[in-house]
């Protein structure tokens, strides 16, 4: 079945550092989404990407839809303590409304 | 806009009882809602797709008689865990597509933590 390989699994960084995480797959997708989940909460949509090669920013967050349609990355610049949480990539392929989720990246930010 | 709520936020029940979880789209109409299950430190796993006015579509391995889904209106879908057992303990999350923001974006509820004793 379709799988999204997300890396790294976890990150421990110091406040102010930049963060990068990515998702790859052997399948082609037409939409990539990035979510953040806080403990005990549902995922919150951060960025949505619809076109191959698209680069989109949301504040300190920047995400790109890979040109091959098989990958995406998320960057967080100048991390702050409230960036702590689990980040999930998710993707949709053509003719389906089922989201496939990555395995998640757990981010810890130390002051 | 695009707010999804769930009720209850957490529930503890005895083994053998049934538990109903509600998912509501507060400021939009959702013809399709989704139910996910998440184990600790794991990703979200789609259980079923709930379509307003029709039967839900269940993912492979999900027992439809165990997890009853009803989507009676454009703003409400319910998941009932029937005859719950400890192995059903999990974090259940619903989502809905908002026609305002686009067909491909799903907005998630805050989740319901179910603990079966």
The model's pLDDT over B40-79, given as tens digits with 9 standing for 90+, comes to 889 999 999 998 888 899 999 999 999 999 988 889 999 9
Length of chain B: 117
What the block records as the tokens of B20 is 């109903």
Distance CA B109, CA A41 (A): 8
Stretch among A39-48, B7-16, B66-75, B98-107 having the lowest mean pLDDT: B98-107
pLDDT of B53 reads 83
CB contact under 8 A, B104 and A50: yes
pLDDT of B104 reads 67
Q: Check pLDDT > 60 for residue B98.
A: yes
Interface of A with B (CB under 8 A): 30-31, 33, 35, 40-45, 48, 50, 88, 90, 92, 97-99, 101-104, 106
CB contact under 8 A, B105 and A102: no
Nearest residue in chain A measured CA to CA from B5: A42
pLDDT of A93 reads 80
| Nearest-CB residue to A102 (from B43, B46, B105) | B43
Instruction: Answer with the residue of higher pLDDT: A95 or B30.
Output: B30
Query: What distances in angstroms separate CA B11 from CA B18, B29, B37, B76, B117, one per listed residue?
Result: 11, 27, 15, 19, 11
């Amino acid at each position: 079945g379709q799988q999204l390989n997300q890396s790294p699994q976890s990150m421990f960084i110091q406040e102010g550092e930049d963060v990068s995480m990515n998702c790859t797959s052997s399948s082609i997708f037409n939409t990539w989404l990035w979510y953040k989940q806080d403990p005990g909460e549902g995922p919150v949509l951060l960025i949505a990407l619809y076109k191959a090669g698209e680069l989109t920013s949301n504040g300190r967050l920047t995400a790109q839809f890979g040109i091959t349609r098989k990958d995406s990355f998320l960057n967080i610049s100048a991390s702050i303590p409230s960036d702590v949480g689990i980040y999930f990539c998710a993707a949709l392929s053509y003719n389906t409304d089922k989201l496939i989720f990555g395995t998640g990246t757990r981010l810890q930010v130390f002051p | 806009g695009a707010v999804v709520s769930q009720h209850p936020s957490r529930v503890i029940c005895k083994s053998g009882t049934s538990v109903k979880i509600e998912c509501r789209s507060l400021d939009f109409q959702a013809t399709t809602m989704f139910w996910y299950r998440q184990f600790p430190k794991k990703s979200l796993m789609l259980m079923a797709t709930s379509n307003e006015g029709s039967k839900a579509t269940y993912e492979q391995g999900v027992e439809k008689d165990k997890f009853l889904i009803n989507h009676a209106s454009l703003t409400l879908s319910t998941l009932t865990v029937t005859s719950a057992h400890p192995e059903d303990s999990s974090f259940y999350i619903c989502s809905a597509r908002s026609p305002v923001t686009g067909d491909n974006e799903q907005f998630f509820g805050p989740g319901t933590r179910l603990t079966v004793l």
